[in-house]
Every structure is written in C-alpha cells, then in structure tokens.
Amino acid sequence: MTPRATARTASRADHVRKCLMTGLLTGSALIATALGVWAQDSDEKITTAHAFSDLGAIKYADGFERLDYVNPDAPKGGEMSYWGRGSFDSMNPYSRRGRSPALSVLPYERIMTSTADDPYASYCLLCTTLEYPESQNWVIFNLRDDVTFSDGSPMTAEDIAFTYDLFMEEGFPSFRIAVKNMIPSYEILGPHRIKFNLNPDLPRNGLISQAGASIVFQKKWFEETGAKLDESRLEQSPGTGPYMIDTVDVPRRIVAKRNPDYWGRDLPINIGRWNFDSIRQEYFADTNAALEAFKAGEYLFRAETSSLTWASQYDFPGIEDGTIVKEELPDGSLPAAAGFVFNLRKETFQDVRVRRALGLMYNFEWTNDTLQYGLFKHRQSFWQNSDLQAQGVPEGLELEYLQGVADMIDPAIMTEEVFVAPSGGPRQLNRGDLRAAGALLDDAGWIAGDDGIRRKDGQVLRVEFIENNPSFDRIILPYIDNLKRLGVDATYNRIDDAQYTDRVRGHDFDMIFDSYVNGLEEANGISQRYGCKDRDDVFNPAGYCDPAVDQLIEGLKVAENLEQMQAGVRAIDRIMRAAYFMVPVWYNGAFWVAYYDVYDYPEPLPPYDLGNQDFWWWDEDKAQALRDAGKL
C-alpha cells in the first residue's frame, strides 16, 4: 500500500472512530466499516451501471423502455403558456447580479437526471454508463457520442471539463468551495470519457450524485464571446436540451421553442416527454392583472398559489362554460419549509425566547380560516408529511443519534415530544399566546415601559419585515398588529424586486417570508442549507448554525441505507424545530391548477411532480373546438 493510500485509510478509520463515539454508525453498517470495506482502487471491483443511488434504491433497470408515468403516444405540438410575477433583467441564472427567470435554465442538461417517481436515484442522460470503484474515490462517465448543442456542434468531455473550471472560477463562492472540496479534480480520458476524482477524506454519500449533477455549457461559445458566468446578461450559450430560448422581451415575456434536432428525443428516459413546440412565460407586476390576462386567453395555464384567489375569483364565464378546467391535483412532493425567517445574524434574535415570543403572535388558525378560506394545513416539520419528519418522543436509531450529541443540545429534546408551534385560535389576537409571549420577553429582559414599548438596556425591540410581493400584505399586516400589542416596534416595508434581492443577499433584514427547499434524500447538500460553514449562503437565509446539527450532518454523509438516513434527518429536524429560527406557516398537499381545455396529462400523475412543462401535452382536437367556439 502506498503512503498516500495508508493516509487515506487512516483518515477513514478516524472518521469511523468519530462516528462510533457519537453513535452515528450502528449495527451492520459499523461492522462493515470496521472490517475494512474501504478497499483501495487497485484491488477493487469496478461497477459499471446506467444509474446510481447512494441508498441502493433504483426503480428503473438497465434497458427500461420508458418511464411508467408518461404517455408514450403523447402528440407533439402546441404551446404551454403560463405566467410569472414581477420582472426579470437577466438570462444568466448563475450570477448574483440581476434577476433571472426559471425558463433561463431550460436549455441546459446535466450528465445524469432524476425522475418524478424515484427520489433516490440518478439516471444517465448525457452518459451511457458510469464506472466507479468500491471506495467511490472516483467516477468515470462514458458520454454519449451523439450529444449535440442546439447549434449542431458535438458535445465532448472538453465541454464538461470547461464547465467545471468555469464554476470553480466564477460560481457562487459557497458553491465552488463546496464542490471543489467534494470533486477536487478531473481527468479527460477521451473525447467522450471523463473522470472526476472524489475527495478520499470525505464520506461517500452525495459525491457521485454531485458529479452526475454537473451541468454542461458549450466551451466554444464562452471562448468566442468572452462571456462570464458571474455577469448579468441576456445572451445565452447553446445548450444540449430539448428547448432553446427563442424570444426574450424584457421584462414581459420569454419564449422557448423546441429544438427540432434535439439529440435525445428517442431516449427511453425522454419518451412521452417534452411534448410542446414552445413554452412561453408572461410576466406581470400585479397578480390581478395576471388573472385578467388569463381570463382573456393571453396565457393558458395557471398554477395558483393564493388561497384568496383560488377560493373567491375563479367564478368567471370561462370556468362556468367549461372553456377552462379548474381542478386540484395530488402533490406528493415535499412541501417547502416556508415561514417567517429570523435573521440570526442580528443580536436581537440570538435568544430563542425572543424568537418564540415573536412567533406566538403569528396566528395560523385565524389567518387560515379568515384570510385563506381554511385551505391550508399548519406546517411543523422541515420535512413535512414524509418519513423524515420528527414525531413524538425520539426512539430507536434517532435517539441513538441524539445521544451522540447530548452535550450540545437541550436534554429535553431527547425526552420530550418534538416541538410543535402553537396554531393560535379563532380570534386575530389569541390572549393566551399574548400572555405567554409577554412572559418569554420579560424573562429575556425585554420589559414593557409606560408607553407599552419593550426595551432592554435602553434599546427598543424593533422588527422590520420586508417583502416584495403585494399579496402578502394581508398576511403580514395582522401579524404586525399583534406584535405591536406585545410591545414590539414592528414595521412592514414593501419594496421593489431589485431592492429586495439586494437586501436579502446582503443579509440586510430582520424578518422575511422565505423557505428552505429540502429533499427526500439528504447528504452533502444539506450543509449548504443548515451547516455552520455555509451560514451566510443564499440557501440559508436565517444564517442558522448549530454544532450538533453539523455533527449529525456528518453522520448523514456515511449513512449506508434508507433507515439510517431517515433517522439522521429526523434528529436534525427535531433540533431545528426546537431552535425556532423560522415561524412555520402553511403548506398545501395539492396543486391548484386552472387551464384552458387544450391540455391533457397522464393518469395517475407521478408522486413528485406536476410536470405541466414536461409530460403534459397539447390536444389539437380540443383546441380546434375552442377556436370554433370563439373561445381561443
């Protein structure tokens, strides 16, 4: 064994010992690791596969004909058109500068892709197979030799290598640091073969998946144009995807059109997908204007997020005469962990008693029943409605993990029911919650003066909410009123999109409405959202950091099966809910959609995606019937 290999093995052994001491590896996983599963590259069996999962669960075997949830006979044609709120001024989604629309990422593909019914596996897209040793110290992607960019030029390993270098030089700092640590180097082994060397001193989970998630840009375009990744611009490089951007009308409209020469249209993973000739997004500054435009047929598909609008404004003639279909479709995906986020970088919010007191003034029950027509449920967990959600008193493997960080957490977390945020009551101001909040602030040293305002060491308890979406006015203003009754100098400042983006990215806020987007499988990526190293990352708006969570995240990175991963996430969920760095609000278990009766979709829909841009299709007979009736 070489000195480097010996050092690598020693490093892994140290990591295993650490996990032993903290209770992060148990049972067969611990025994297997201790017996030396970490064999070296020269002695290892090489696996060649069409797909990969850290947890071993892959739904579609090699040679599958198509995805189960698509209609393989879906016709091609028509247009999917929908709306967006606000504006955009850039088509570069990978820069801190400017606001880019969701459609800006549509032309670009990744080496591997996921499906809407298999949350744990990645499947080859730009590759035919991947190869990796038992140690997973590296991964080789055998690329397809027929992949072309939208300008007809072939994609090669040089383009993938160039894209990696570009992100490492000009990408978001937190992203490039994290990825460089996971994937320190690459080797081009041929025109259609590239090897990513993975950090041997890191746990294996998430490394191959991260390499497979690499997006691909065209090297030639960047070299010829001199474009930078970290600049705001409207021009886009050619992509390998099924669509290319056709029209950019700042700040009103974007149109993507089908690439007629798309290289991957006949792949099994693409059968029944990418059915529209074009995809169009219309932007509106005002949500009411957007709805009126929908009624007038300026766009044809609308995914509704406002309970007020859904409950009270879909009673127009197009609905009544059947021109427009209104329905709720099942959504089995993980709801975003949305709520009012405290900026933990501010001294005022360092005390959890203050955070819980302010949170008590948000009345979910009254808000939902009075302002949201009772359509929502109260979110509690960061992984709501999944096997990752902490419930009741911890037990089994989850309790073992918590015992491993017992010296860093409140002991009550291990013995009491998981924290559940109060739901309020039928009146806007719940008197019991007001008394409880006052007691918490008194205990934290924030005392109400003769003027009713709370102060500590001469400092007034001030909280500013900022927002850029007018539809939140009706939600935030009653919350502000309740906070004032508590003695908080609370203010609400609605600002424009550009100012909001600058202030949030610069951490210049007290409280905002935001969300953490989590996954059904967690490994290395969770650090960007909840790890101390990345507390100032754009994916961690609260700036949350807890050494106990950091240690549990290290355990997730070595989880060898679904049970270990889920137990580790439940332990993290339990700690973060007790920390209360976000006031949890609502979630919806359904998609609210309204669309002109020109679309169709496969039934049943897959559990994790609505797929209106992906596997829905245009029904020309229905469209012609609406045209004949003068409705379209």
Mean pLDDT for the chain overall: 92
577 has pLDDT over 90: yes
The predicted pLDDT at position 28 comes to 32
Judge contact between 71 and 602, C-beta under 8 A: yes
> How many Cβ atoms are within 10 Å of 48's Cβ, its own excluded?
12
DSSP H or E stretch at residue 445: none
Q: What is the pLDDT of residues 207-259, one digit of tens each?
A: 999 999 999 999 999 999 999 999 999 999 999 999 999 999 999 999 999 99
Q: Which among 256, 238, 330, 292 is positioned nearest to 80, based on CA atoms? A: 256
Judge contact between 387 and 396, C-beta under 8 A: no
The predicted pLDDT at position 22 comes to 38
The predicted pLDDT at position 344 comes to 98
Q: What is the pLDDT of residues 289-338, one digit of tens each?
A: 999 999 999 999 999 989 999 999 999 999 999 999 999 999 999 999 99
User: What value does the mean pLDDT take over residues 527-534?
Assistant: 92
Instruction: Name the amino acid, one letter, at 405.
Output: V
Q: Which among 618, 87, 82 is positioned nearest to 302, based on CA atoms? A: 82
Strands (DSSP E) found in 102-179: 112-115, 118-124, 127-133, 138-143
Choose the weakest-confidence range: 81-95, 258-272, 414-428: 81-95
Report the distance separating Cα 578 and Cα 586, nearest Å: 18
What token pair was written down for 513?
């409405």
pTM > 0.95: no
Q: What is the pLDDT of residues 483-505, one digit of tens each?
A: 999 999 999 999 998 899 999 99
> How many Cβ atoms are within 10 Å of 292's Cβ, its own excluded?
13
The predicted pLDDT at position 540 comes to 95
585 has pLDDT over 70: yes
Q: What is the pLDDT of residues 100-143, one digit of tens each?
A: 988 999 999 999 999 999 999 999 999 999 999 999 999 999 99
Q: Which among 380, 386, 418, 385 is positioned nearest to 399, based on CA atoms? A: 418
340 has pLDDT over 90: yes
Rg (CA), the chain: 26
The predicted pLDDT at position 8 comes to 32
The predicted pLDDT at position 6 comes to 31
Tell me which residue has tokens 């009754």.
Answer: 485
Instruction: Among 3.30.1490.20, 3.40.50.10320, 3.40.190.10, 1.20.1270.360, name the CATH number for the domain at 42-70+78-225.
Output: 3.40.190.10
Report the distance separating Cα 243 and Cα 236, nearest Å: 12
Helix pair 173-182, 157-170: axis angle to 10 deg: 130
φ and ψ at 139, to 5 degrees? -145, 135
Judge contact between 19 and 558, C-beta under 8 A: yes
Q: String of b and e for 516-530 (b: at least 16 CB within 10 Å)?
A: bebbbbbbbbbbbbb
25 has pLDDT over 50: no
The predicted pLDDT at position 42 comes to 57
Count the helices and strands in the chain (H runs, E runs): 20, 27
17 has pLDDT over 70: no
- CATH code of the region 337-587: 3.10.105.10
Superfamily of domain 243-259+266-333+591-628: Periplasmic binding protein-like II (3.40.190.10)
Domain residue ranges in the chain: 1-38, 42-70+78-225, 243-259+266-333+591-628, 337-587
Report the distance separating Cα 272 and Cα 162, nearest Å: 32
549 to 35, 516, 546: CA distances (angstroms): 28, 16, 5
What pLDDT band is residue 32 in, cutting at 50, 70 and 90?
very low
The percent of residues in the chain predicted with pLDDT above 90, rounded, is 84
User: What value does the mean pLDDT take over residues 387-391?
Assistant: 97
Q: 80's torsion region: left (phi>0), alpha (psi -120 to 50) or beta?
A: beta
The predicted pLDDT at position 248 comes to 96
Task: Please indicate whether the domains covering 42-70+78-225 and 243-259+266-333+591-628 agree at the CATH topology level.
Answer: yes
Return the SS3 of 500. Answer: helix
94 to 103, 193, 603: CA distances (angstroms): 13, 26, 35
